[in-house]
Amino acid sequence: SSVSSDKATQETPSYACQRRTPLHHHNKEIVDALQILALSASFQGSEARYLGFTRAASVLKCLPFTLQSAEEVKDLQFCGGHSKTVIQEILEDRVCREVEMVKNSEHYQSMKVLTGIFGVGIRTADKWYRDGIRSLSDLNEIEGKLTGEQKAGLLHYTDLQQPVTRDEAERVEQLVKGALQSFVPDVQVTMTGGFRRGKQEGHDVDFLITHPNEEALNGLLRKAVAWLDSKGSILYHHIKGRSHNFARSSTMDGHETCYAIFALPNACPEKSPDAGTIQPDLDKSPPRNWKAVRVDLVVAPYSEYSYALLGWTGSKHFERELRRFSLQVKKMSLNSHGLFDIEKKCHYPATSEEEIFAHLGLLYLTPSERNA
Ligand code: DCP
Ligand code: MG
């Protein structure tokens, strides 16, 4: 590798949790294409292909420059042959035939619509597809078979397809804090998920709730949600209680969680420039002064708070890589409750995310560097 002792050959650590992945990067077109192929693979139930494309996309997010020639692609690390072909085709032809085919395929398009419904995972969507269901309107025929969650998801589909803005997320935060603090004034509420990583938009708003006194958390989520419900702020909610036997599992998460759809009131009524003049009311439906927004509320005991914060900040791929690194390199099982050393058979307490990275022998990454 004489000619190519260039930028592309710089060492890339193999796990995404070992490198800084910023929110904005230099290869959006290619990353988007690889992520479409990853999504399509997951729709087809191919976990291995999903991971291959996701890993390749994630590596490109860390590149400090824009790929320009197919030559540069040869030395890219952790990109399989298939991903490299896709990248080269895009660099040469601007488009990749496989990506275009996927985007136009009936299965991909239907799966995207169906899995876009709150409460519908890949398995359910694929079963429906095999039963001939292609679109939202086809679901009317099996309305009786839908879960409560899915019915709510369908009812608010259009709103929930709209991204949640940071401004909306902050107004949800005020609502959530107000409700929780009316019961426990010094409760700690932290916005997690994509917004904590610096995203300006999200598909939902995620919150983590804790308090140094564990008693203060008992029943708090149910009371706060009931309070919000009584004020008309909740369109749907489902609370999953705290579960045990999760301690050593690296996939399960046993925190008390509320999966909700909020009716978020619009921002302060704007003064229209021609207020007072009579407007023709073209559609007769009354104007709606709220938007449906997906909200996840998670309660963590204080002793597990840092692990829960790390686990709920994401990104999903970052979390997956962090757990894979822990298990394969450190022989430790990480989840959002704690870190268990499989060989020494002991748990590592932590009071900050920094401490958890240190336990794992990893360089600390800020939330905005975890956009893997
Ligand atoms: N998370 C996880 N496993 C789950 C649920 C969540 O690891 N079963 C973590 C990773 C996610 C974070 O919690 O990044 C929040 O989940 P979201 O699905 O809300 O993902 P984001 O907030 O990152 O993205 P979006 O902007 O789409 O909401
Ligand atoms: Mg989120």
Q: Is 204 a catalytic residue?
A: yes
Cα Rg, the chain, nearest whole Å: 23
What is the spatial distance between Cα 162 and Cα 185, in angstroms, rounded to a whole number?
33
- Domain range for 242: 164-267+286-302
Within a domain: 76: yes
Residues 121, 183, single domain; the answer is no
Per-residue pLDDT at 250: 58
CATH number at residue 142: 1.10.150.20
193 lines ligand 1 (CB under 6 A): yes
What is the spatial distance between Cα 307 and Cα 300, in angstroms, rounded to a whole number?
9
Distance (Å) from CA 225 to ligand 1 centroid: 21
Which ipTM did the prediction report?
A: 0.96
Number of domains composing the chain = 4
Residues 34, 14, single domain; the answer is yes
For the entire predicted model, the pTM comes to 0.93
Residue bearing the CA closest to ligand 1, atom 20? 193
What is the spatial distance between Cα 292 and Cα 301, in angstroms, rounded to a whole number?
29
Distance (Å) from CA 204 to ligand 2 centroid: 5
pLDDT tens string 221-278: 999 999 999 999 999 999 999 987 765 565 668 999 999 999 999 998 766 666 566 7
Residue bearing the CA closest to ligand 1, atom 26? 202
Within a domain: 272: no
Residue bearing the CA closest to ligand 1, atom 13? 312
What is the spatial distance between Cα 49 and Cα 9, in angstroms, rounded to a whole number?
24
Q: Is 229 a catalytic residue?
A: no
What is the spatial distance between Cα 280 and Cα 194, in angstroms, rounded to a whole number?
41
Q: Is 206 a catalytic residue?
A: yes
Q: What is the arithmetic mean of pLDDT over 204-212? A: 98
202 CA closest ligand 1 atom index: 26
Q: Angle of helix 28-43 relative to helix 97-104, nearest 10 degrees? A: 50
